[in-house]
């Protein structure tokens, strides 16, 4: 019996030593392993320059409500966007409110209608609120190629059905803002 206990003791000690060596070997391998990646990362850079040219002011003062057909025939606010860079550019054009002069009060967006003409393609008459709310009114967005020019005319008018409480004696003043980023 003592012989069996001695033999078991030897196996237990040898087993413990083997387990300790395995743990040390695995820990050493884990901490000294270096992984090399094979994925390539590409960074594209180009010259980014967008030119926004406005031809007239975007102001509605002392205007009367009109039908859509008459609003669509207005001259509108003309501007163009040109990509003078050397890479395709994603852009978004916003229509932001401009501070009014003292004594003026702003026309509600719900009383305004608009139509956007883009490169001689006439858009439908829509409520200004369909663009979003200030400062996130999106006039247009897309991608513009190098040396491309896009011509716009934004027509805004007071809705024929607007009440005098909402639109009477009020003013709308807006400015365009453009945000752009290079396409990836």
d(CA 85, CA 89): 8
- pLDDT higher for 55 or 72? 72
pLDDT tens digits, one per residue of 143-179? 999 889 999 999 999 999 988 888 888 888 888 888 8
pTM: 0.69
Partners of 127 in the beta sheet?
113
The residue to which tokens 């039908």 are assigned:
67
- b/e per residue, 151-169, with b = 16+ CB within 10 A? ebbbbbbbbeebeeebbee
Query: What is the length of the chain?
Result: 184
What structural domains and CATH numbers belong to the chain? 50-182 (2.60.120)
């Amino acid at each position: 019996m003592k012989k069996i206990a001695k033999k078991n003791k030897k196996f237990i000690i040898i087993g413990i030593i083997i387990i300790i060596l395995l743990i040390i070997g695995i820990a050493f391998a884990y901490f000294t392993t270096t992984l090399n990646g094979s994925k390539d990362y590409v960074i594209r850079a180009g010259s980014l320059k967008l030119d926004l040219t406005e031809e007239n002011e975007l102001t509605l003062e002392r205007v009367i409500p009109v039908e859509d057909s008459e609003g669509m025939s207005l001259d509108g606010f003309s501007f163009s966007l040109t990509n003078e860079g050397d890479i395709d550019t994603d852009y978004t054009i916003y229509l932001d409110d401009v501070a009014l002069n003292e004594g003026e009060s702003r026309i509600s967006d719900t009383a305004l209608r608009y139509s956007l003409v883009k490169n001689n393609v006439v858009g439908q008459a829509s409520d200004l609120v369909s663009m979003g709310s200030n400062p996130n009114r999106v006039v247009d967005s897309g991608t513009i190629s190098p040396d491309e020019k896009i011509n716009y005319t934004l027509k805004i008018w007071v809705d024929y059905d607007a009440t005098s409480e909402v639109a009477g004696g009020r003013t709308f003043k807006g400015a365009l803002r453009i945000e752009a980023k290079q396409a990836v």
